């Protein structure tokens, strides 16, 4: 095989890899498509439902533990107060 004949074979590898990368990039990123999210997507706003009610007030950080924690017996389930 002559030197000029093998040169195209050496150049075909990087050129083919670049073409494959660009084709996959365009396929997955859809860079050739245009989409205007703000114009083509509509979101209808509805009034907020629910209520704001004050449940409890914590003033200060004097308590170092939370009542009912399971720090020492971590495999036991936490008992919740029914209220």
Is the residue at 37 inside a domain? no
The CA distance from 71 to 36, in Å, is 52
Residue 12 in any domain: the answer is yes
Residue 3 has pLDDT above 70, yes or no: no
- Residue 22 included in any domain: yes
Dump pLDDT digits (tens) for 12-58: 888 999 999 998 888 888 766 766 777 777 778 888 888 888 877 77
If one counts the domains in the chain, the total is 1
pTM of the prediction? 0.35
Please tell me the number of Cα atoms within 13 Å of 65 on its side-chain side: 6
**Residue at 25 is within a domain:** yes
Domain with 15, as residue range(s), is 3-30
Q: For the residues 65-71, what does the mean pLDDT come to?
A: 76
Dist CA 63 CA 28 (whole Å)? 54
Determine, yes or no, domain membership for 17: yes
Cα–Cα nearest to 83, from 67, 71, 64: 67
């Amino acid at each position: 095989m002559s030197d000029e004949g093998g040169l195209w074979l050496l150049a075909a590898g990087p050129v083919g890899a670049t073409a494959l990368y660009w084709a996959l990039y365009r396929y997955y990123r859809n860079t050739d498509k245009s989409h205007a999210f703000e114009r083509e997507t509509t979101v209808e706003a509805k009034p907020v439902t629910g209520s704001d009610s004050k449940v409890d007030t914590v003033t200060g950080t004097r308590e170092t533990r939370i009542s009912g924690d399971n720090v020492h017996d971590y495999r036991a389930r936490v008992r919740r107060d029914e209220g």
